[in-house]
Structure 1
């Protein structure tokens, strides 16, 4: 066997349909029980437990116990970024699964990608931040500029606290539906949290969709001038 990273193992772990469905469900950023993940995967609880053990051993999910329950989540932001990148690659090659219904346009409009905003709104938000030079490209990544620091400060976000994280402040993440980049990193996470806590948007109860209120869309459009409100779904 040749030396180097074992991508075959990761590919095998993600490639199983049941495990892929579980990982996709965990892209919501929420911790789920084995029972909930079994339902998402369409398998029995015993089979789900076996899959989760393999995913945990492979470093893709983590587990925590709370009272009598065990909850599972993606291991870290890098896992979420990997899955979203694979989704983008699959979509670009035409490998799509389609279930008709209202969730599809809602997910494409705005959704959670692990802990930040994705979809049309997420891409347009990054476009606006780049356009107003609040964020700029540097090397292979993105950096927050003084204009960006001013903007976040006006929103009430605490930059000193964001900088304590070991994660990058700003990071691009390939969007599977738009096939362009949206904003990840601690700034992307903080912005999504701000939209939710301010009441501009809410998480859908049965999908990864993020639903903006009419007032939230107005505030969002004012904050990101390059953003244009799309028709409601």
Structure 2
């Protein structure tokens, strides 16, 4: 599927509130059963199945069958990033309850964008890496400098292995809530996985939101020079 068709297909999908809600839920990068996606969108399982079939037909989501159950996930990291960027132009859905308000605060603070960190935490990390001279921005690309090669290696990332992945290595992703860029691509994935391994962040159940731990707060201050509450 070419890029223009992907943009058109995804834009058409998120124009429908129910489909947009399903895609938002799938942006955590995990597999979800249709029933959970229906609940997240506030629609019936039959309606959710109809929408999911359309998304699968367009190649936006993939489905895995395990017995009688079907599990769905976004097909490609590039599609997830495109969804995040398109949502940055439409903005978040109106908040109509205290529960939604609390959830939105968590999503703004730190969340998953398929397989890499997004939200305030991700934007501030990316800005810190640029200020330190470890990343240099060139249009929508983020180039790793000589000092960056040393920094990421010391942080525990295998850059040669990450460069072998069949995807962009280090690029900008326009953040949905912050309207600024955060780090995406294989490097964004590798950095996120490393921070999870170090127990700096923990996923929340049934949500894209991730929670920063006490170790994470200390580590962010020491390694990136930023403080997150």
Q: CA deviation at 1:201?
A: 1.4
What secondary structure does 1:165 align onto? coil
Change (3 A) 1:5 1:131: same
1:6 is displaced (CA, Å) by 8.2
- Structure 2 counterpart of 1:230: 228
Residue 53 of structure 2 corresponds to 53
Q: Distance in 2 between matches of 1:205 and 1:212?
A: 14
Residue 188 of structure 1 deviates from its aligned partner by 0.8
Distance 1:106 1:10, change over 3 A: closer
Q: Which residue of 1 aligns with 2:134?
A: 134
What is the aligned residue count?
223
Alpha carbons 2:140, 2:171 under 8 Å: kept: no
| Residue 83 of structure 2: aligned partner | 83
Q: TM-score, normalised by structure 1?
A: 0.88
Shift in Å, 1:96: 3.8
Q: Does 1:219 align with 2:216?
A: no
What's the secondary structure of 2:39's corresponding residue? Answer: helix
Aligned to 2:29: 29
Match of 1:97 among 94, 97, 100: 94
2:11 aligns with 11
Distance 1:42 1:35 in 2: 10
- For normalisation by structure 2, the TM-score amounts to 0.90
TM-align CA RMSD: 1.9
Give the whole-Å Cα distance in 2 for the aligned partners of 1:105 and 1:42.
21
Shift of residue 206, structure 1, vs aligned partner: 3.4
Partner of 2:172: helix, strand, or coil?
Answer: strand
C-alpha distance in structure 2 between counterparts of 1:118 and 1:218, whole Å: 19
Correspondence for 2:120: 120
Secondary structure in 2 aligned to 1:112? strand
Distance apart, 1:219 and its partner CA? 0.6
Partner Cα separation in structure 2 for residue 200 and residue 9 of structure 1: 36
The equivalent residue for 1:199 is 199
Q: Could you give the per-residue CA deviations for residues 99-129 of structure 1, whole angstroms, max 9, x where no partner exists?
A: 4342222211111111111111111000011
Partner in structure 1 of residue 210 of structure 2: 210
Q: 1:157-168 counterparts in 2 under 5 A?
A: 157-168=157-168
Distance 1:62 1:6, change over 3 A: closer
Task: Check the 8 A contact 1:13/1:58 in 2, yes or no.
Answer: no
- Shift, 1:5, TM fit: 4.5
Shift of the alpha carbon at 1:131?
0.8
State the Cα distance separating 1:10 from its structure 2 match.
4.0
Q: Is the 8 A contact 1:144 1:169 kept in 2?
A: no
**Residues in 2 aligned to 1:97 and 1:126: alpha-carbon distance in whole angstroms:** 28
Alignment of 1:66 onto 2:63: no
